Structure 1
Amino acid sequence: MDHRPIPPARTGTAVTASDVAAAVARTGTTLVVLDDDPTGTQSVADLPVLTRWEEPDFVWAFEQRSPAVYVLTNTRSLGREDAAARNREVVVAALAAAARTGTHVRFVSRSDSTLRGHFPLETDTLAAVLAEHDGRSVDAVVLVPAFPDAGRITLHGWHFVRVGGEFVPVGDSEFAADATFGFSSSDLPAWVQEKTGGRVSAADVVVLDIDTVRAGAQAVRDVLLPLTGGRTVVADTVDEDDLRAVCLGLALAEEAGREFLYRVGPPFVRARIGQEARPPLERAEIFADVPVRRGGGLVVVGSHVGLTSRQLAVLQAERPQARSVVIDVPTVLDPARAPAHLQAVGEEIARRLPDGDVVLHTSRVLQRSDDPAESLQISRTVSAAVVDVVRAVLAAHPPRFVVAKGGITSSDVAAHGLQIRHAVVRGPMLPGIVSLWEPVAGPAAGIPYVVFAGNVGDDDSLAAVVRTLADPAHP
């Protein structure tokens, strides 16, 4: 399968966002979304985000009375044991806060639409903790990795990514060669078998095929109702209407007593809570209620995927007046030279910000190892260096805005560099992708923060976001 097959026409009634929202309201459910990096918020608006997960943090979030709460676990940057422990901590704290506030919660494991991440480890952990602490038995684990806005779709059980205007099987893309989370299968049942080491066979995976999805929510519900015992389900999704049909079918099955865990891409939560896609934010909206800060913003680029490097090049070509400052990765990996280098980088950025935007990026030659654990350690070391610089800049000269490019980068910059504990997702910066947060209290209060995944958008997208945010006094 080298190209995108043509999906069938719909035979059922189209599902609206209000249809799903009504089903959610009937159950009174709040989704707790464990986001393995912060880019999952790019498809939603007006929802609370936590970068810490103690019980009082969840109490604050549940008191917002939102249909979903995001928790930045950042587990894609962790090893297996640490990832499992963090998932456990989040669920235990969320269940305690839910009991304290009278909130009924269900859990979503949000991960990458190109299939990178700790699967099945994370859903296995969630299921075990739910059984242990809440007596819940999971009937099915539902996989919905599609992200149509970013060119990731699932059809007839196969997952595709759009590359250069053409859909290719994800197993043939650069993402499948990931040093830590690599894989070979594009057929999702086969992928499940591959990732579970054969514990779940491809033949046992239930595929919600596009014909069922497009027959309508009742047809989806009818497939789901008989499932028990933690069956794995894969849902075909080509567009937003497909997502809504799947989500309403899930909600109807939950109303009938089924218990599901979700492993999903970014737009699932928007569809599952019945939220309309919000138009991209404009400059006047973004800065309407924040302190006036003259000078420049800070763009932090850590991702090394090819798309990010092209986006960085376009930004630099369009805005030559924006000073580029480089964190040299080989120097950062040398403990003897790293401190002086990072201090110099931070001081240079603080000097430049009063006069305009600054682009901070890591050197573009990717440092990696054949050992997945070593590759993760390199990523963590580099991310810690970026955090040190951002924190120093925040203390010396708070930027007008911050854009962070890359999953691990944007998570660590938020939680540790800007020291954001609670935030609210305001909405997208580009249609369906790239989210803007409003930090709640703390040293970053009043600084719009943009979370930009490494693998979304086109070559012009980073420049377009900065264009929207740029101070008219420093065009």
Structure 2
Amino acid sequence: MTPWGSLPEVVARGDLPAEIRGLRAASGRILVALDDDPTGSQSVHGVEVVTVRDPEEYRAALPGPTPTGFVLTNTRGMAEPAACAVNAEVAADLFRIAAERDAPLDLVSRGDSTLRGHFLAEIEALDAARRTATGRGHDAVLVVPAYLEAGRVTVHDVHWARTGDEWLPVGETESARDATFGYRSSNLRDYVVEMGRGTLTESRVSSIGLDDIRTGGPDRVAELLDAAPAGGFVVVNALDNSDLDTVALAALTVQSVGKAFLYRTGPSFVRALAGQDPRPPLAPTDIWADGHPAGHGLIVVGSHVGRTSRQLAALRERVPLKEIEVDVAALLARDAEERRAYAAEAGAAAAQALRDSHVLVLTSRGLVATGDRDASLRIARDVSAAVAAVARSALDGNPAWVLAKGGITSHEVAVDGLGIRRAEVSGQLFPGMVSLLRPRSADPRALGKPYVVFAGNVGDDDALADVVARMDGTTGG
């Protein structure tokens, strides 16, 4: 049972993704999501993710008549000033590429579907970049944190997260108590004002409800978007893919006559803006030519949320593996040179163990707490850097595939562990969740090896074990 009562029925309106693709092709619009951790590509397929700040890699990742791509900024793992600087640099390069192609550029600030991240600071950095490049900022920001497949939906302006059979307002979830990005508000209009910390008023925030979307359709949504307060925020309600498709079509229609929108979203709305239909989960035969890998997998876990701990317990019950723990307290007590030696020793052990079994590299489960936001981020980066060094050394054991769980962990393993500069998103292992990437530009030892990006806060208790079974070719479910 859902807590929000009766709602307007979904209305079939034809092939909305095809209409979106047509509008994008007619205008040549470029769509790029600046992803604040590596998990934002979980709803798309056939697009490329760039993990480095390099315009040449951006150009390579954006081919074709409707170019769509991701740039992994990893800014959720940075202090706010650094996050703003990275967003500004990447956006400036993308606007230059758009100008070279004489094409309009749509930017998505892809944040967390449970609302963690540098919300207002990143929006302001991207708006300033557009103003510098084109002479004008964005007319409005669409706030669309829905991640439908993971049970993150917005109804009556309240954002909800499903945990098992229970729906909770996000302000009552574990994410709202995050040491770095905690918040109080579940109503997204209130959340926007809260994130303004006194700089935003309620008059600057409007919303598009499910009645507008389902009863009024694209025309009504376009009318509301056109009337949005200049420089304001528009909260988008969504409970179904068709809701997102309707809003995306309306936004592109309004933009085609001169408006400019910035999008702060979870994963699901990027698929809608790209005009993609959802793709079924990848089966073992989509991953391996004969449905089975030639070797064992390397599993790297840094996430500390309760869901991850439960998933680890199920993995241990179902999958034979060798465990190598990175003791966080012991690591932080060492100097930089000692940390490198610690990681090298653990990596060598992982490489050796990969000859005989799957290997699980995980951080110790005891969380090192600090009341300082920036200190918490520094600890997370130091630990993730060590874990990435372990993964880099473990490549000598020739793993058939690599899985990383946790946002910062996934970034560090991809960039510093596997040397990935650019990779293609093949698809997902569950509906809209857990992306499989194929490295295109990377450490030669990692080229062609599937890399699974698994967010810390998604999936049921069996999800991690199910993914390992899928990668092993032992199940197609």
Partner of 1:236: 237
Alignment gaps of 5+ in structure 1 = none
Once the two structures are superposed, residues 68-97 of structure 1 have per-residue CA deviations (whole angstroms, 9 ceiling, x without a partner) of 110000000000110000001101111222
Report the residue type matching 1:13 in the other structure: R
The equivalences for 1:136-215 within 5 A come to 136-215=136-215
Give me the whole-angstrom Cα distance separating, in 1, the residues matched to 2:363 and 2:257. 51
Query: What is the Cα deviation at residue 464 of structure 1?
Result: 0.9
Q: TM-score, normalised by structure 1?
A: 0.95
Note closer, same or farther for the CA distance 1:234–1:344 as it changes in structure 2 (3 Å cut).
Answer: same
Once the two structures are superposed, residues 354-403 of structure 1 have per-residue CA deviations (whole angstroms, 9 ceiling, x without a partner) of 11211111111111211111111110011011111111112x22210001
Note closer, same or farther for the CA distance 1:228–1:203 as it changes in structure 2 (3 Å cut).
Answer: closer
The equivalences for 1:104-123 within 5 A come to 104-123=104-123
2:153 is paired with a residue whose SS is strand
Confirm whether residue 404 of structure 1 aligns to residue 427 of structure 2: no
Larger deviation: 92-101 or 324-333?
92-101
Report the residue type matching 2:182 in the other structure: G
Note closer, same or farther for the CA distance 1:106–1:318 as it changes in structure 2 (3 Å cut).
Answer: same
Partner of 2:250: 249
1:466 is paired with a residue whose SS is helix
Give me the whole-angstrom Cα distance separating, in 2, the residues matched to 1:323 and 1:85. 41
The equivalences for 1:237-386 within 5 A come to 237-288=238-289, 294-319=294-319, 321-336=320-335, 338-386=339-387
1:426 is paired with a residue whose SS is strand
Cα pair 1:113 1:266 within 8 Å, conserved: yes
Note closer, same or farther for the CA distance 1:65–1:400 as it changes in structure 2 (3 Å cut).
Answer: farther
Query: What is the Cα deviation at residue 111 of structure 1?
Result: 0.6
Give me the whole-angstrom Cα distance separating, in 2, the residues matched to 1:199 and 1:327. 42
The equivalences for 1:212-231 within 5 A come to 212-215=212-215, 216-231=217-232
Cα pair 1:294 1:471 within 8 Å, conserved: no
Query: What is the Cα deviation at residue 289 of structure 1?
Result: 10
Give me the whole-angstrom Cα distance separating, in 2, the residues matched to 1:196 and 1:367. 29
Partner of 2:131: 131
1:113 is paired with a residue whose SS is coil
Report the residue type matching 2:273 in the other structure: R
Partner of 1:39: 39
Cα pair 2:228 2:234 within 8 Å, conserved: no
Confirm whether residue 433 of structure 1 aligns to residue 433 of structure 2: yes
% identical equivalent positions:
43
Once the two structures are superposed, residues 100-145 of structure 1 have per-residue CA deviations (whole angstroms, 9 ceiling, x without a partner) of 3444321110010000000100011000111012223211011000
Confirm whether residue 71 of structure 1 aligns to residue 71 of structure 2: yes
Cα pair 2:29 2:66 within 8 Å, conserved: no
Give me the whole-angstrom Cα distance separating, in 1, the residues matched to 2:79 and 2:65. 34
Query: What is the Cα deviation at residue 165 of structure 1?
Result: 1.1
Query: What is the Cα deviation at residue 228 of structure 1?
Result: 4.9
2:355 is paired with a residue whose SS is helix
Confirm whether residue 455 of structure 1 aligns to residue 454 of structure 2: no
How many positions carry a matched residue from both structures? 468
Larger deviation: 68-77 or 191-200?
191-200
1:70 is paired with a residue whose SS is strand
Query: What is the Cα deviation at residue 439 of structure 1?
Result: 0.4
Alignment gaps of 5+ in structure 2 = none
2:255 is paired with a residue whose SS is helix
1:275 is paired with a residue whose SS is coil
Give me the whole-angstrom Cα distance separating, in 2, the residues matched to 1:113 and 1:449. 22
Give me the whole-angstrom Cα distance separating, in 2, the residues matched to 1:434 and 1:66. 24
Cα pair 1:294 1:354 within 8 Å, conserved: no
Once the two structures are superposed, residues 158-206 of structure 1 have per-residue CA deviations (whole angstroms, 9 ceiling, x without a partner) of 1111122111110011110000100000011111111001222234311
Q: TM-score, normalised by structure 2?
A: 0.94
Query: What is the Cα deviation at residue 446 of structure 1?
Result: 1.3
Give me the whole-angstrom Cα distance separating, in 2, the residues matched to 1:401 and 1:45. 19
Once the two structures are superposed, residues 440-469 of structure 1 have per-residue CA deviations (whole angstroms, 9 ceiling, x without a partner) of 033211110011111111111111111011
Cα pair 2:438 2:449 within 8 Å, conserved: yes
Give me the whole-angstrom Cα distance separating, in 1, the residues matched to 2:13 and 2:182. 39
